[in-house]
A = this chain, B = another copy of it.
C-alpha cells in the first residue's frame, strides 16, 4: 500500500516517493526482473553503452507503461544512463506488484498497484506529470493526453514523447491533425523492430497464454473469433490456429479481410460470427466491437476477451445489462455472466488486456526489440534536445537497423552481405533482361 511504501521510505533516506502494493514482494520481483534480463541481451548491451556515455545525465523521464519485468529492464537501462525515472502504470490490471516493489526498492519512483481503481490510476498519472519530465514514454498516450488536458504541454518543457502502441499513435495523429499537439512525439509503434515483432509474435503468444491460464480450455476444435486482422490480429490468429483452433476473422477493412481469407481463415461480420464462436478476442483499437446484439446471439459457454489496449472493445455495460447475475472468479481472471435466458458468457480480465491481466504480457525476447527501440529513441531525443519539431516523428531508420542487427547477433544468426556488384545492380537501372 501507499502507506507501506511511505513508511519504508521513512526508514531509508534515498527511497523515492511512490505507491506500490507491498515492498515485501521485492525479492521475488528482483528474481523475475533478472530472469527477463536473460532474454533481453540487446537492451543489456544498450544499458552498458548508456552507462558509459551517461546518455541521460540530468534528464527526468516519466514512463507510463505496463509495470512488468521487461519494463523494469528498460527503466534500469535509462537509470544506468543517468536518468531520473518515474514509472506509473498504463493499465490498472497489468501491474506486477513484485516487480513494482523491486524497482521501488532500488530507488525508482514507482506509482502502480495491480487492481487500482480509476481515481488512483489517474493520481499515478498525475504524479508522473508532477515529476516534470523532459522525456515521456507512453503506452496508450494517457500521459501525453493528460499533459495536453492540463495545459502542461503548452509550457514546452517536454523535449520529446515516445508512444508504444498502435492505439496511442492513432490518437496522436488525430491530435496533430486537429492542431492540438504541442510537443514532439515519436511513433515508436511504427518502427519495424516494434510492430512487426511485438504486435505479431508477442501479442500472438501472450494472448493465447492469457486465455489458457484463465480458462484451461482446449483450443483444438474450438472456433475462435478474432476481431481485427492488423498485426495483432494476425499474430493471435496464427497462434490460435497453431493450437488447433478454427479462426473466424471480422474486419472493417476489405484489404485485411481478403488477407485473412487467403490465409485460410473464415471472414464474416460479427453479427454472424457471434452465433458460432466459442472464444472471442478483440484486437481492433476501436470501441464496442462486441456489443449487445452480439452477446444476445452467443452460444452458452462463450468466452469473451480483449487484447487491444483499452477496455472499450467489449461493451461491458451492455453485457452487464443483459445478465441476471455475475459469478466472479469462476476461474482466475474469469467472470461468468449468467444471462436472463440462462446462457453463460465468460468474460476474461474484465475486458482489459487479457495477455497482461491473465498472463504476463509479451515474452521478454520480443520486448527486447520494442524497448531497445524505445531506449535508442529516448537517446535520440536526449541528443536532439530542444531542436525537435512539434509533430508525429517516425523513428529514425538507423535505430531500426541497429536494433535488428544487434538482435540478430544475440540470436546467434548470421546473414549475407551485399557484394559491391550486387549493390551496384540494385542501384542501377541499366542492366536488363
Q: Which residues of A contact B (CB under 8 A)?
A: 31-32, 34-36, 38-39, 90-92, 121, 140-142, 145, 170-172, 174-175, 178, 180, 192-193, 196-197, 200-202, 204-205, 208-209, 212-213, 215-221, 239, 241-246, 250-255, 257-259, 261-270, 285-288, 301, 310-312, 329-331, 344, 359-360, 362-366, 369, 400-401, 404-405, 407-408, 411, 413-419, 421-422, 425-433
For A416, list chain B residues within 8 Å (CB): 250-252, 269-270
Q: Which of B258, B331, B369, B411 contacts A32 (CB 8 A)?
A: B331
Are A142 and B433 in contact, with the CB atoms below 8 A? yes
For A245, list chain B residues within 8 Å (CB): 264
Are A221 and B422 in contact, with the CB atoms below 8 A? no
CB distance from A411 to the nearest CB of B (A): 6
Are A244 and B264 in contact, with the CB atoms below 8 A? yes
Question: Contacts A91-B433, A244-B264: A257 and B201 contacting too (C-beta < 8 A)?
Answer: no
For A413, list chain B residues within 8 Å (CB): 257-258, 261, 267-268
Question: Contacts A205-B220, A250-B416, A331-B35: A427 and B174 contacting too (C-beta < 8 A)?
Answer: yes
| 6 A–B contacts from the bound complex (CB under 8 Å) | A121-B433, A202-B218, A205-B219, A242-B244, A254-B404, A258-B408
A405 to B251, CA, bound (A): 12
For A329, list chain B residues within 8 Å (CB): 31
Q: Which of B36, B267, B301, B429 contacts A175 (CB 8 A)?
A: B429
For A369, list chain B residues within 8 Å (CB): 258
Point out which of A140, A253, A264, A365 has the most chain B C-beta atoms below 10 A from its C-beta.
A264
CB distance from A46 to the nearest CB of B (A): 16
A365 to B417, CA, bound (A): 36
- The chain B residue with its CB closest to the CB of A219 is B205
- The chain B residue with its CB closest to the CB of A196 is B259
Q: Which of B178, B192, B414 contacts A268 (CB 8 A)?
A: B414
For A255, list chain B residues within 8 Å (CB): 192-193, 196, 400-401, 404
For A404, list chain B residues within 8 Å (CB): 253-255, 257-258
For A428, list chain B residues within 8 Å (CB): 171, 174
Are A417 and B252 in contact, with the CB atoms below 8 A? yes
Are A422 and B288 in contact, with the CB atoms below 8 A? yes
Are A257 and B216 in contact, with the CB atoms below 8 A? no
A369 to B197, CA, bound (A): 28
Question: Contacts A213-B213, A363-B217: A407 and B254 contacting too (C-beta < 8 A)?
Answer: yes
CB distance from A229 to the nearest CB of B (A): 10
For A171, list chain B residues within 8 Å (CB): 428-429
Question: Contacts A220-B205, A261-B411, A414-B268: A330 and B422 contacting too (C-beta < 8 A)?
Answer: no
A123 to B245, CA, bound (A): 42
Are A286 and B38 in contact, with the CB atoms below 8 A? no
Question: Contacts A255-B404, A433-B121: A241 and B244 contacting too (C-beta < 8 A)?
Answer: no
Are A252 and B218 in contact, with the CB atoms below 8 A? no
Are A264 and B426 in contact, with the CB atoms below 8 A? no
Question: Contacts A242-B242, A269-B414: A429 and B213 contacting too (C-beta < 8 A)?
Answer: no
A232 to B173, CA, bound (A): 32
For A196, list chain B residues within 8 Å (CB): 255, 259
CB distance from A309 to the nearest CB of B (A): 9
Are B425 and A262 in contact, with the CB atoms below 8 A? no
Q: Which of B220, B263, B415 contacts A269 (CB 8 A)?
A: B415
For A263, list chain B residues within 8 Å (CB): 220, 244
Are B39 and A217 in contact, with the CB atoms below 8 A? yes
Are B429 and A145 in contact, with the CB atoms below 8 A? yes
CB distance from A330 to the nearest CB of B (A): 6
Q: Which of B141, B252, B267 contacts A429 (CB 8 A)?
A: B141
- The chain B residue with its CB closest to the CB of A428 is B174
